[in-house]
Structure 1
Amino acid sequence: MDLRQLEYFVAVAETGSFTRAAQRVHITQSGVSAQIKALEHELGAELFLRSGRTARLTEAGSAALRHARAALDSTLGLRDAIDDVKGLIRGRLTIGMVTGCEIAPLFDALAAFHHEHPGIELELAEANSDQLVAGVRAGAFDIVLAGLAGGPPEHLASQVIVGERLVALTAPGGRLAERDGVTVTELMSYPLICLPRGTGIRDVLDQAFTAGAGLRPEVALVATAPDTVAGLARRGLGVAVLSESMAAAHSDLVCVPIEGVEILALLALVWQERTSPALAAFLRHCRTAFEPMG
């Protein structure tokens, strides 16, 4: 076997598709398939269950994936060590961010990093926060900017950018608009508009209902973008639940504090504790870009 086969194997495992893997590694799908078949022949076991356009790991494939990633990481480590000696940084960074959120400091960090290191290939992807953190653990992302409920994830490096409380947003003239605050229990009497499960803000809301009243929030509408959540509330379709900074962008709506919720919605950078030179350089730009928010 060779490193190219391992790279293709990991690409298929992470994308769940020979087509998407081929796009990632920039060769034809038939080339990826041929190399995977050669690897399976050498190992004496099928690595994937092929069904239509999807590819799922077999038990043998799952066992092999960790070792394949470790071999590729060792190769990258060797390259990074040589690059450090030469004073070079090259390679690729895969960065994740929360779906539907326009996070200007992250874009500023990306721009500054690209200007300083134009040889680094950057890949940016959006997902819900739970998917982002899982992606860091699996090695699919080098670093993510994710929303978290209450605290940073275990066994990963992280930097909390900001911690905020939840607020309710309602259209002027609504029955909540004249209130100075609302409790979690009182929110049960309103149709709620929220971000989906797996986002930090929704996780905080769900935990607050469970801890405070042993209830589940009655969510009328779900949208992936904070602006959409606010837009639905603006049209009188319910009460939006967002963070303080998200609410500040919608001054035409009435912002009502949610009382008794001690859990903070965190925005944090999350990455594996071991960093490549490229990731270390990107982190420096992130810290500069996000410093005003800290």
Structure 2
Amino acid sequence: MELQQMRYVVAVAETNSFTRAAERCLVVQSALSHQIARLENELGARLFERTSRRVRLTPAGAAFLPAARQCLDAAERAAAEVAATVGEVRGRLAVGLIPTVAAVDVPGALRDFRRQYPQVRISLRVGASDDLIEQVREGALDVAFLGLPTTARPQGVAAHELARDRLVAVVAPDHPLAGQASVGLRRLATEVFVDLPAGTAGRLQSDQAFSAAGLSRDVAFEVTAADYMTRLVAPGLGIAMLPSAYAPQLTGVTTVEVADAPARVEYVIWSRHSRTPAAAAFLAVLDIPTGDAPDA
């Protein structure tokens, strides 16, 4: 069993095509097909079902794929570790972030990192805070930027607090609240809301604040992307609450200070068990102290 064969299997699984997989791997299709057939013979099971219209994983292929990816990742990490011993940082850097991260200029940080370490390939994943924490724990992400209510901390990872911020109300420009200097939760509770899905960290900080004040509210629209929330707010479908540091990026809406606003904490997190050379270098570019960062 060879690493190249595993690369071919992963490529076919991700493209659902032997032709596109061969193009990705820069090899002729006959050579790719031959190597996968050799691997199937060695394993004693077919990894793909092939028809004239499609290619899909068999149950054996579905079982083989995660392990193949882990082997390839381990091989790449091993090469990166060896390179690091002679002062060369390469390999991959997987970064996760919430859409509303504001404490760090992530594109700027990646620009600086890329200038110093041009051989590192970078992937970005945008998601919810809870999902990002899980992906860092599992090793799918090296570093992640997220936001949590003040009552929560990232669990099972190393974490460094970046900033604390309060939420502001986001309303349509012609909304009655648009001209107010400040508003309270009790007044906001009479409005229809656009918010993130129930159970997410971004939603929880608002839910907790209204609950603590003995108030309930009508969340009529649940949206998975914060930028799309404002597209529903702008025409007057509802109002939203978003971090004040993120608010300057918004267009077509008006923000209003909330006197008793909920707060959130932004964190950068990474694995508490190991850091790749690329992850360590990226945290250094961010000037994040890692030696004494508390494990959560």
Give the alignment's TM-score, normalised by structure 1.
Answer: 0.71
- Residue of structure 2 in register with 1:219 after alignment: 220
Task: Point out the structure with the larger helix share.
Answer: 1
1:202 aligns with 2:200: no
- Residue of structure 2 in register with 1:18 after alignment: 16
Q: Does the 8 A contact of 2:40 with 2:46 survive in 1?
A: yes
- Residue of structure 1 in register with 2:97 after alignment: 97
- Residue of structure 2 in register with 1:292 after alignment: none
Query: Aligned partners of 2:41 and 2:155: how far apart in 1?
Result: 38
- Residue of structure 2 in register with 1:280 after alignment: 280
Counterpart AA for 2:105: P
Residue by residue, what CA displacement relative to the aligned partner does 1:5-56 show, whole Å, maximum 9, x if unpaired?
Answer: 334555677x5x5359949964469576665554444333455788986856
Query: Aligned partners of 2:55 and 2:250: how far apart in 1?
Result: 42
Q: Does the 8 A contact of 2:91 with 2:121 survive in 1?
A: yes
State the superposition RMSD in angstroms. 4.3
Unaligned runs of 5+ in 1: 289-294
- Residue of structure 1 in register with 2:146 after alignment: 146
SS in 2 for 1:287: coil
Query: Aligned partners of 1:173 and 1:101: how far apart in 2?
Result: 28
Q: Where in structure 2 are the equivalents of 1:162-181 lying within 5 Å?
A: 162-171=163-172, 174-176=175-177, 178=180, 180-181=182-183
Shift of 1:258: 6.4
Q: Does the 8 A contact of 1:106 with 1:286 survive in 2?
A: no
Identity within the alignment, %? 31
Query: Aligned partners of 1:212 and 1:33: how far apart in 2?
Result: 64
Shift of 1:169: 2.3
Unaligned runs of 5+ in 2: 289-296
Residue by residue, what CA displacement relative to the aligned partner does 1:87-146 show, whole Å, maximum 9, x if unpaired?
Answer: 222222232333487886211211111111112222334344444444434444332323
Cα gap change, 1:205 to 1:45, in 2 (>3 Å) = farther
Q: Where in structure 2 are the equivalents of 1:73-112 lying within 5 Å?
A: 73-99=73-99, 105-112=105-112
Q: Does the 8 A contact of 2:170 with 2:240 survive in 1?
A: yes
Counterpart AA for 1:190: E
Cα gap change, 1:232 to 1:179, in 2 (>3 Å) = same
SS in 1 for 2:245: helix
Q: Does the 8 A contact of 1:196 with 1:224 survive in 2?
A: no
Query: Aligned partners of 2:71 and 2:139: how far apart in 1?
Result: 13
Query: Aligned partners of 1:124 and 1:60: how far apart in 2?
Result: 27
SS in 2 for 1:165: strand
- Residue of structure 2 in register with 1:126 after alignment: 126
Cα gap change, 1:74 to 1:56, in 2 (>3 Å) = same
1:116 aligns with 2:96: no
Counterpart AA for 1:281: A
SS in 1 for 2:241: strand
From 173, 184, 191, give the equivalent of 1:182: 184
Matched residue pairs, number?
281
1:267 aligns with 2:269: no
Q: Does the 8 A contact of 1:46 with 1:61 survive in 2?
A: no
Q: Does the 8 A contact of 1:167 with 1:258 survive in 2?
A: no
Counterpart AA for 1:155: G
Shift of 1:246: 2.0
SS in 1 for 2:286: helix
Q: Which moved more, 1:217-226 or 1:45-54?
A: 45-54
Q: Does the 8 A contact of 1:170 with 1:240 survive in 2?
A: yes
Query: Aligned partners of 1:190 and 1:28: how far apart in 2?
Result: 59
Shift of 1:85: 2.7
Query: Aligned partners of 2:28 and 2:196: how far apart in 1?
Result: 37
Counterpart AA for 2:94: T
Residue by residue, what CA displacement relative to the aligned partner does 1:156-181 show, whole Å, maximum 9, x if unpaired?
Answer: 23333223232222346644454844
Runs of 4+ in 1 over 6 A off after TM superposition: 48-54, 100-104
Give the alignment's TM-score, normalised by structure 2.
Answer: 0.70
